[in-house]
Amino acid sequence: MATKPGIPKGTRDFSPEEMAKRNYIFDTIRQVFHLHGFRQIETPAMENLSTLMGKYGEEGDKLLFKIQNSGDYFAGITDEELLSRNALRLAAKFCEKGLRYDLTVPFARYVVMHRDEISFPFKRYQIQPVWRADRPQKGRYREFYQCDADIIGSDSLLNEVELVQIIDAVFTRLGIRVAIKLNNRKILAGIAETIGEPDKITDITVAIDKLDKIGLENVNAELASKGISQEAIGTLQPIIQLSGSNTDKLSTLKGILAASETGMKGIEECESILRTLESLPVRNEVELDLTLARGLNYYTGAIFEVKALDVQIGSITGGGRYDNLTGIFGLPNVSGVGISFGADRIFDVLNQLDLYPKETPDGTQLFFVNFGEKEAHYALPILAAARKAGIRTELYPDAAKMKKQMAYANSKQIPFVALIGEDEMQEGKVTLKDMSTGVQQRLTPEELIASFQKQ
Amino acid sequence: MATKPGIPKGTRDFSPEEMAKRNYIFDTIRQVFHLHGFRQIETPAMENLSTLMGKYGEEGDKLLFKIQNSGDYFAGITDEELLSRNALRLAAKFCEKGLRYDLTVPFARYVVMHRDEISFPFKRYQIQPVWRADRPQKGRYREFYQCDADIIGSDSLLNEVELVQIIDAVFTRLGIRVAIKLNNRKILAGIAETIGEPDKITDITVAIDKLDKIGLENVNAELASKGISQEAIGTLQPIIQLSGSNTDKLSTLKGILAASETGMKGIEECESILRTLESLPVRNEVELDLTLARGLNYYTGAIFEVKALDVQIGSITGGGRYDNLTGIFGLPNVSGVGISFGADRIFDVLNQLDLYPKETPDGTQLFFVNFGEKEAHYALPILAAARKAGIRTELYPDAAKMKKQMAYANSKQIPFVALIGEDEMQEGKVTLKDMSTGVQQRLTPEELIASFQKQ
């Protein structure tokens, strides 16, 4: 007797109903990408470990799924090494390949390998799964999809503007109200420069982020506990309490960061992006937020993050400007900017807000009940003609009990049912039943097809 | 200095141009699946090795990509075991998971796990990559996509008919002329039974397949060399030389296999499928071919294979009936039938016959040249309105030299270019250039958008 099968923890099967929802999300994002001239690429699931290792920090290296070499993977390893049982070191000998951890590093690798075929600026999108050997928990999976759009080879801020437009268009189409948060790595660097604490930027943003929860006094205490001087904390006060419109915030920052060239450059970038967006029909609010610090070591300019307004959940989209991503593969001085939509969280948000369209665009429209061999053979050419006319239709393959056949049609939410008996065959007709109204009509096959085309 | 990056052998990157072609294939197949009421599922890339091992024969087990356990994968392994360096045995300890080898075994696993949610017959399709540690060679990859459609939970032969219709519709839409070859495992079993050589079926089909190449005498010699008796070879003569229409072939077989109940059942199944297909608008020829022996141990009834008529290449689609696939996971007596489209070979066939549509359905339609900041800001709201109207459009992000911008637009084969200078801004207009005719028109933004909607 076989044991009941399972799947690896942190992975999921997707049923037809779930796939319809996921495809709705992917198709919406894809359409917006196309409206902006982005084109799709795909890269292999497996990359050489030399491509992946060292790109995601020490913790990231541990979270890479490694693929054992085929054949004799013990070749070239001494007994001593084996007995050392050094899991990490020996993994590098047992395994040459790993599963991709994100879409960004493979994209950088792609750009470097194919630089001679690409005409820059390269606007690419990529929708593929990634894998991380993270501890699985609610909402965190070991296999999940990323939907990335990047523009590489242009440092124009119009690219940042375009990405905000894309974010706005995607969430408007999905019906999710969001706040689009904007920050700039150069402003953060300017702050650190101004208070003389260049390596405390993460501590500072983390502390500021807690203002609403723990209050100003506790934020200041936390900053002090991180070794930041009282003088620096004093300088930080207007930044911690930064409020008002984006213009107000930027004007406050200008005063504090006046002496920092980098800081002023960051402010100028934000101003330019926000000013351009003002002339455009952006539905969701774009808000300057200094607490955004994602991928600090990675991003060099703008940083984006998107929060759903009506659901409590982490960031559902993020991204930013990176000035030297391809440098790690030997192609320096290529600037890029990109965003990544978190399909799994968007899936949850749409579920919680019940925002999925009621009709599945790809579902069967017309179901033929099978009353027996003769009726089935009468029906088959009608099905063929209907499909030729673009109608999604199926005949139940067995002459099973009516109840069973109707249960099948209902489980697939098929809106129209065709019935064929003696009378219909004699008249050369089909009885069409509208399942939502119960209304029945006896139609010729041509009339049947025409009735769908009118809809 | 970083070394030049590469990708694992047998894997591929897909450029935007290649992706457009692949999406054309996948979308065509998907549309036909939907017209027939099939719904999509997805399963994880990683399956437990216990799910995969032993399902593809000994050779298959070796071709599975195995994923090393996270953390200390040496735990529970003795020094002695380690020093044995038994690669296959230790792999089972180092690795619990592997990459899927096909879509069929994960599907069987899915059906068993989700049987209570599924309403049978279950018509599912699945388009996902699979991985095999095969030796890479021309046209053979370590990562490739399969496009499978299966109907599980119904033994009606109307399902076989429907799969032939799907094959016919897909290749008709793609413009590839094919021969759809049909065989039946029960006929092969009947032949083996009749000549008293039940385990020589593969040898027999392989030998018969060579008739055209090596002639009857050599085929008979080969059969003898496989240990088949002269008497049996005598009985086989009319089968080896089987020719004429499908009806002729079946009538010859009826004479020879009259005493084999299994054989006669196979003939009856073929007759039923072919008879039903005759009443339907199938464009490509369906041909009975006894040399089809794919997946003998796997299939129990109909066997399908599709050959392109105008390109020399192996089978581009295949499938068949299996009566006990879910039995290996503890759910016996569920019959299924399915087909698998070989996307990579179809890609090659379309390339060789130059059958791809000339226009990319998702490509940019309208390109705005960037003449400077002022012009760009004038253009941006027009782009936003155009996108809202469904026009795929982009503005070059930098005010680069005209030549460079046009080279970019040409590389993306963008059919229309919008030009905005002093005059256009004063008049509130845009100059639209049709790149195929060279004709220029000065239009208001509304007229510009309307001109695309008319097309």
pLDDT for position B328? 86
Q: How close does chain B come to A315, measured CA to CA in Å? A: 24
Residue B422 pLDDT exceeds 80: yes
Beta-carbon pairs below 8 A across chains A and B: 306
Q: Which residues of A touch B452 (CB under 8 A)?
A: none
Name which of A3, A13, A124 to mutate to probe chain B: the one with the most chain B Cβ atoms within 10 A of its Cβ. A13
Q: Do A276 and B380 touch (CB under 8 A)?
A: yes
List the single residue in B with minimal CA-CA distance to A105. B5
Question: Residues 6 or more apart from A247 whose CB is under 8 A from it?
Answer: none
Q: How close does chain A come to B372, measured CA to CA in Å? A: 11
User: What are the tens digits of pLDDT across the range A242-265?
Assistant: 999 999 999 999 999 999 999 999
Please compute the mean of the pLDDT values over residues A229-234 and round it to a whole number. Answer: 91
| Least trusted range by pLDDT, from A431-445, B72-86, B184-198, B233-247 | B72-86
Closest Cβ opposite residue A387 in set B35, B384, B408: B35
Q: pLDDT grade, residue A86 (50/70/90)?
A: confident
Instruction: Flag whether residue A363 sits within 8 Å of chain B, measured between CB atoms.
Output: yes
Please compute the mean of the pLDDT values over residues A121-139 and round it to a whole number. Answer: 93
Q: How close does chain A come to B49, measured CA to CA in Å? A: 10
Residue type, B357: P
User: What are the tens digits of pLDDT across the range A275-313?
Assistant: 999 999 999 999 999 888 665 567 899 999 999 999 998
User: What are the tens digits of pLDDT across the range B222-267?
Assistant: 999 998 999 999 988 988 889 999 999 999 999 999 999 999 999 9
Distance (Å, rounded) from C-alpha B395 to C-alpha B378? Answer: 11
Task: List all residues of chain B from 168 to 207 with a beta carbon under 8 Å from chain A.
Answer: 169
Q: How close does chain B come to A197, measured CA to CA in Å? A: 31
List the single residue in B with minimal CA-CA distance to A127. B19
Please compute the mean of the pLDDT values over residues B314-324 and round it to a whole number. Answer: 92
Instruction: Flag whether residue B129 sits within 8 Å of chain A, measured between CB atoms.
Output: yes
User: What are the tens digits of pLDDT across the range A155-176?
Assistant: 999 999 999 999 999 999 999 9
Report helix, strand and coil shares of chain A as percent, to nearest 5: 45, 20, 35
Contact call for residues B151 and B162 (beta carbons, < 8 A): yes
| Least trusted range by pLDDT, from B144-148, B236-240, B276-280, B309-313 | B236-240
Please compute the mean of the pLDDT values over residues B105-124 and round it to a whole number. Answer: 95
Q: Do A5 and B113 touch (CB under 8 A)?
A: yes
Q: Do B397 and A112 touch (CB under 8 A)?
A: no
Q: pLDDT grade, residue B401 (50/70/90)?
A: very high
More confident residue, B360 or B80: B80
Q: How close does chain A come to B389, measured CA to CA in Å? A: 10
Q: Do B390 and A35 touch (CB under 8 A)?
A: yes
Please compute the mean of the pLDDT values over residues A119-148 and round it to a whole number. Answer: 93
Q: Which residues of A touch B374 (CB under 8 A)?
A: none
Task: List all residues of chain B from 263 to 302 with a beta carbon under 8 Å from chain A.
Answer: 276, 279-281
pLDDT for position B295? 59
User: What are the tens digits of pLDDT across the range B209-234?
Assistant: 788 788 899 999 999 999 899 999 99
Instruction: Flag whether residue A397 sits within 8 Å of chain B, measured between CB atoms.
Output: yes
Closest Cβ opposite residue B42 in set A14, A119, A367: A14
Please compute the mean of the pLDDT values over residues B117-137 and round it to a whole number. Answer: 94
Percent of chain A with pLDDT over 90: 75
Instruction: Flag whether residue A333 sits within 8 Å of chain B, measured between CB atoms.
Output: no
Distance (Å, rounded) from C-alpha B170 to C-alpha A205? Answer: 56
User: What are the tens digits of pLDDT across the range B29-82?
Assistant: 999 999 999 999 999 999 999 999 988 888 888 899 999 998 788 888 888 888
Task: List all residues of chain B from 6 to 35 with a beta carbon under 8 Å from chain A.
Answer: 6-8, 11-16, 19-20, 22-23, 30, 34-35
pLDDT for position B178? 98
3-state SS of chain B is CCCCCCCCCCCCCECHHHHHHHHHHHHHHHHHHHHCCCEECECCCEEEHHHHCCCCHHHHHHCCCEEECCCCCCCCCCHHHHHHCCHHHHHHHHEEEEECCCCHHHHHHHHHHCCCCCCCCEEEEEEEEEECCCCCECCECCEEEEEEEEEECCCCCHHHHHHHHHHHHHHHHHCCCEEEEEEEHHHHHHHHHHHCCCCCHHHHHHHHHCHHHHHHHHHHHHHHHCCCCHHHHHHHHHHHCCCCCHHHHHHHHHHHCCCCHHHHHHHHHHHHHHHHHHCCCCCCEEEECCCCCCCCCCCCCEEEEEEECCCCCCCCEEEEEECCHHHHHCCCCCCEEEEEEEHHHHHHHHHHHCCCCCCCCCCCCEEECCCCHHHHHHHHHHHHHHHHCCCCEEECCCCCCHHHHHHHHHHCCCCEEEECCHHHHHHCCEEEEECCCCCEEEECHHHHHHHHHHC
Q: How close does chain B come to A180, measured CA to CA in Å? A: 18
Residue A197 pLDDT exceeds 90: no
Closest Cβ opposite residue B1 in set A129, A330, A384: A330
Please compute the mean of the pLDDT values over residues B349-373 and round it to a whole number. Answer: 92
More confident residue, B80 or A43: A43
List the single residue in A with minimal CA-CA distance to B387. A35
Contact call for residues B264 and B257 (beta carbons, < 8 A): yes
Q: Which residues of B touch A384 (CB under 8 A)?
A: 165, 280-281
Percent of chain A with pLDDT over 70: 98
DSSP 8-state symbol, A420? -
Closest Cβ opposite residue A119 in set B131, B362, B407: B407
Residue A418 pLDDT exceeds 50: yes
Q: How close does chain B come to A141, measured CA to CA in Å? A: 11
Q: Do A83 and B85 touch (CB under 8 A)?
A: no
Residue B1 pLDDT exceeds 50: no
| Least trusted range by pLDDT, from A23-32, A179-188, B274-283, B287-296 | B287-296
pLDDT for position A296? 56
Residue type, A85: R
Q: How close does chain A come to B430, measured CA to CA in Å? A: 18
Residue B446 pLDDT exceeds 90: yes
Q: How close does chain B come to A12, measured CA to CA in Å? A: 6
Q: pLDDT grade, residue A97 (50/70/90)?
A: very high
Q: Do B47 and A20 touch (CB under 8 A)?
A: no
ipTM: 0.93
Name which of A33, A43, A47, A70 to mutate to probe chain B: the one with the most chain B Cβ atoms within 10 A of its Cβ. A70
Residue A3 pLDDT exceeds 70: no
| Least trusted range by pLDDT, from A72-86, B6-20, B378-392 | A72-86
Q: How close does chain B come to A288, measured CA to CA in Å? A: 22
Q: Do B40 and A23 touch (CB under 8 A)?
A: yes
pLDDT for position B2? 52
Q: pTM for this one?
A: 0.93
Which residue carries 């090393």 as its tokens? Answer: B68
Q: pLDDT grade, residue B443 (50/70/90)?
A: very high
Q: Which residues of A touch B35 (CB under 8 A)?
A: 387, 390-393
Q: Do B5 and A94 touch (CB under 8 A)?
A: no
| Least trusted range by pLDDT, from A19-23, A79-83, B257-261 | A79-83
Task: List all residues of chain B from 203 to 262 with a beta carbon under 8 Å from chain A.
Answer: none
pLDDT for position A294? 62
Q: How close does chain B come to A144, measured CA to CA in Å? A: 9
User: What are the tens digits of pLDDT across the range B128-162?
Assistant: 999 999 988 887 899 999 999 999 999 999 999 99
Q: Do B377 and A8 touch (CB under 8 A)?
A: no
Question: Residues 6 or more apart from A324 whose CB is under 8 A from it?
Answer: A300, A332, A333, A334, A335
Residue type, A291: T
A231: left (phi over 0), alpha (psi -120 to 50) or beta: alpha
Closest Cβ opposite residue B280 in set A87, A381, A408: A381
